[in-house]
Amino acid sequence: MTFPNFQPGRRQALAALGGLALAPLASQAQAQTQGFASKPTRVLIGVPAGGTQDVLTRAVADAVRSSLGPLIIDNKSGASGRIAVDTVKTAEPDGHTLLLGTASMMTMFPSAYKNLSYDPIKDFSPLINAASFELAMVVHKDVPASTVPEFIAWAKTQGPNGNKVSFASYGAGTPSHFLGEMLNRAAGLQMVHVPYRGSTPARQDLMGGTVPVYFDTVGGAITMQPTGRVKVLATSGARRSPPMPAIPTFVELGYKDVIAAAWFAYYAPAKTPRPVLDLLRAELTRAVNTREVRQQLLLNGMYPVGDGPDALVKTMREDIERWARIMKATNFVASD
């Protein structure tokens, strides 16, 4: 059958031209992601090995091995994690070097440090907000206190307003640091801050009795409890932490301003090709939503989030503004 008088309409012609134009783009996208899993991907973590961030990334790595290939953890500690951030910032933007960024690195440090070497919004391509977490106040077993009020009463016997008591954090300018300062302000204490390069050395010194108190992640507190060398006095959320339901929050103890939570998110370098970003976002999101990963996170004091790039950037901007106000009000400037 023939249609001698048929003339293609404008809509059909544009559709045909559009299909021709999209064909090279589809081929280019396929070329950029084809064989991605054949090359390992390095995930930079800004603290020493053995922390909560390792737990998260190991769980995710197991879930994406078949689709993204091996994820290799590279613990690059130092400068409160800023060395890891700078390494990813300058890495080849091919999707094979990623950052597990923290709330402190990406939202607190812009106000905490003068002349920060990176812009958390402009220098990175956000992938997903993987997990959130709360913190816990953990003391050495020999501290003569089993509750926060007892600890405060004891601290005030250790020099004027407790200024002979030191508290550990997993880094200057981090939620761990600020939780200690919040308790100082709320309780009228002057405990001295001792910043560590990550959670692992801080935990070792707490359990060894070098420092009497450490504000750790809930996951870190969970790992220390079975040793019998520490006591967990409080957690920092608005409600009790599901993995530690017997431990009260600072809020319910009457310290309504002592509240802190943070998050872990994955980033690629800026200018990473869109098809590669789409692949990474899809697979990381799928991983965080698997039953196995969710169970691992909850067991270690983390809450699965899975927010995409738009929601993550919104959270970042809000947190940057909030921490800028707090640091301006307290005249805070971090130093390593």
Question: What is the predicted pLDDT for the residue at 319?
Answer: 94
Q: List the chain domain ranges.
A: 39-132+261-330, 134-235
How far apart CA 220 and CA 315 sit, in angstroms, is: 24
Question: What is the predicted pLDDT for the residue at 1?
Answer: 42
CATH number of 39-132+261-330: 3.40.190.150
40-62 in b/e form (b: 16+ CB < 10 A) is ebbbbbbbbebbbbbbbbebbbe
Q: Which two tokens stand for residue 324?
A: 């800028």
| Burial of 332 per CB tally in 10 Å (0-12, 13-18, 19+) | middle
Question: What is the predicted pLDDT for the residue at 332?
Answer: 81
DSSP 17-42: HHHHHHHHHHHHHHHHHTTGGGS-EE
Contact between 130 and 288 (Cβ < 8 Å) = yes
Question: What is the predicted pLDDT for the residue at 20?
Answer: 54
Question: What is the predicted pLDDT for the residue at 93?
Answer: 98
Max distance between CA atoms of the chain, in angstroms, equals 101
Question: What is the predicted pLDDT for the residue at 295?
Answer: 95
Please tell me if the domain spanning 39-132+261-330 has the same topology as the one spanning 134-235. yes
First to last CA, the chain: 82
pLDDT-flagged residues of the chain (< 70):
1-33, 335-336
Please tell me the CATH superfamily of domain 134-235, with its number.
Periplasmic binding protein-like II (3.40.190.10)
Question: What is the predicted pLDDT for the residue at 334?
Answer: 75
Chain segment 231-244, per-residue pLDDT in tens: 999 999 999 998 99
Question: What is the predicted pLDDT for the residue at 183?
Answer: 96
Question: What is the predicted pLDDT for the residue at 4?
Answer: 43
